[in-house]
Structure 1
Amino acid sequence: MRLTVIGTGYVGAVHASCMAELGHDVLGVDVDAERIAELAAGRPPFYEPGLGALLKRGVESGRLRFGTSPAEAARFAGTHFLCVGTPPLAGSGAADLRYVEAAADALAPHLSDDALIVGKSTVPVGTAAQLAARLPGTEIAWNPEFLREGCAVQDTMRPERIVVGTGSPWAEARLREMYAPLLDAGAPFIATDPATAEMVKLASNSFLATKVSFINAMAEICDATGADVLTLTEAMGADTRIGHRFLAPGLGFGGSCLPKDIRALAARAEALGLGGSVAFLREVDAINTRQRRRIVELARRLVGGSFAERNVAVLGAAFKPNSDDVRDSPALAVAEHVRQLGAEVRIHDPEAVDKARAVCPSLQFTLDVAKTCEQADVVLHLTEWPQYRELDPAALAAVVRTPALVDARHTLDPGAWRAAGWTVHAPGRPRLGAPAGGA
């Protein structure tokens, strides 16, 4: 089949590349000519495991091409996936739909009678109906994406579910045909109406965010009472009704999805006069933001109460591992706050240094962990890259000024670090601290 992908950011580039891999002929369209040139050359504009090979293979096969013309898109195919961004509006947190509307309006004059516009952008419920009123006679469907950065190719090629909201049998049939290779491999297909499909992504992300903030709230109580949050999560997660996934205490969530989506759902509910039903989401957001301040305060205590003339080493800049995305990164937020309080801050990250430097030019970045930790008064582990689990604590102890570690992600082995002479601190684990054999 032939299809277009309008918007070649994170979702669009992945979707276009994966659809070409499934054997479809795909045209990716974007107003950003520089990005289009990069993609057409087979170079992804961001780091995502597996995407580079997929993109290159699609371009070289001729099944995947890129351009900037909506008219060309309408001529190329009758099915158009909208994958443009929906950033939050300043002040309210509601989703800004101007890019969705602009993409639909740009296609509208060129569409054929049997055109199908399929939204993949994360939008508030009611958006498909608004587009249908804007484009009378054009079928509008919604097919939300459920991509995890760092696993996006896998999530597309082996999805846990495909949700499609349509208003007609022929639109559903077209999308079933589009996804046939995945359905034949056993992917669940959930057919519904557009409004329900729009709700699925925001509701899912809000639930996941709630789990993260809940366990971080429990970590605060553990800190105050001497309980251990990791044992708590182990015991809670053993209950199959709760499960272990996203029951991960630490620095909290960031990125372009969870923070944005809980605010967008809360704003939409408030606009519908139902703000009381989701008032807890505002607290979920507040608990998450509070984790960043808690790590800053813990680090400040460890350096004697003031960051003045102190060196702070930060491991991680991306909001999560296996990504170079620094949007709403908790790690960068902590690092910048510490710098503003007077510390000299150096940051290491395997992939996100360039993007982080563009966002926070006042911070220092290195590609060498030992250099990052040189003469550090405290080391903050803020992004759980697997490489950091392989570090040699004894070697790092030889280069820091004070062997003090804050493991804000709970993925380092505290026993190994303490045996090498480090004091180890982690939110919700008050019994950690002095090195083995220490006071």
Structure 2
Amino acid sequence: MATALVVLAAGMGSRMRSDRPKVLHEVGGAPLLAHALRAGRALAPERVVVVTGPDMEAVAAAAHEECPEAGIAVQAERLGTGHAVAQAAPFLQSFEGDVVVLYGDTPFIRPETLAALAEARARAEVVVLGFEPADPARYGRLVTEGEGLLRIVEWQDASEEERQIRLCNSGVLAAPAELLLKLVQRLTPAATSGEQYLTDVVELARQDGARATFVRGSEAEMLGVNSRADLAAAEAAFQARARAALLETGVTLTAPETVMLSHDTVIGRDAEIEPYVVFGPGVTVETGARIRAFSHLEGCHVSRGSVVGPYARLRPGCELAENARVGNFVEIKNATLGAGVKVNHLSYIGDAAIGAQSNVGAGTVTCNYDGVSKHRTEIGADVFIGSDTMLVAPVRVGDGAMTGSGSVITEDVPAEALALGRARQVNKPGLAAKLMARLRARAQRNKAG
């Protein structure tokens, strides 16, 4: 059966106390909306519709970044979840298949749960995803009879007897597109809130002789984000799950609770991650690499056998070949380091390429920015860059060349040449003592005055 996704993302999330739409807040370095769309991808949908609110172009942009083919429906007035689904109708005309409704602020639904939802359509026209939380609180309740779902009642409309029900509504449901669109057109505003509840389609369907049922998911995957506290809880849940997955695949995390991962972090088996390492988006670490403590990586690739840190920063565009070494207080951006390259101490390498087996001394800087444009530094293989060398780009250093410590290199260095770019040292006998005496005398006069 063909499937279409309708993802509801029109809420501003007033409890977030934010100018940013709720679904754009991030977990694991990706917007909540992106997580929801990825969850829905498990159903291989033929159509995707994201329902946003007015003036939410940023939400539409985030949806298209994750799912370029998504249609964007705008809910001009926020009149409830049922009304929101109705806005997707123009994108579902002539669609012959099931619609699955997801929520942009519920990022953790598992593929297995969505598969169970889709499979349950074989025994009923409307299928709702339920769960049993430790504290049902103010969730809507599923009123059931055997495998049948009789109705969904919102907490504020429920009787005391109905509030004792433990099976709660996640909001996620599946139904044939034609049926669902007819049902949402018949919804009427609730007396207590004035909103059109999507949950009311269950009773409407049963009134028309259709069947309704439910499947169960876990409380953890139904976690919705409505406040900053919820967002923190969602981040903690994501990190715990991501760390556990790495441990299962053979990655060593010496202090797992201190490592922060992103939604797309890839780490090979037998890699070792020391405490307090932060992975931003877009990082791949190959088998057998070691990331030492207090390092920050983003948008980079670390090949097998390489060692990074401690206290290193790898920025987007950084590529380390096998057995490269990046040491303490080194920052690398948009640069390629060849096999066996060492940049071990207190250096900045930006917009550069360094050939295999080269060594970069402490305090080296590729001076890549002239105030207007960025320029590249090219360093060949088997090069020795002396400590405190300033490489003023654009500049090339040939294979096997050397630079003297403290040099400012402004011209290309031929292969196997030694480049010196510093003032000649001059020693003035006794002058240091005379200067110090003069300075001390001046300080004493200032103090007396």
Structure 2-normalised TM-score?
A: 0.30
More helix by share: 1
Q: Specify which structure has the bigger relative contact order, considering alpha-carbon pairs within 8 angstroms and separated by 6 or more residues.
A: 1
Larger radius of gyration: 2
More strand by share: 2
Structure 1-normalised TM-score?
A: 0.30
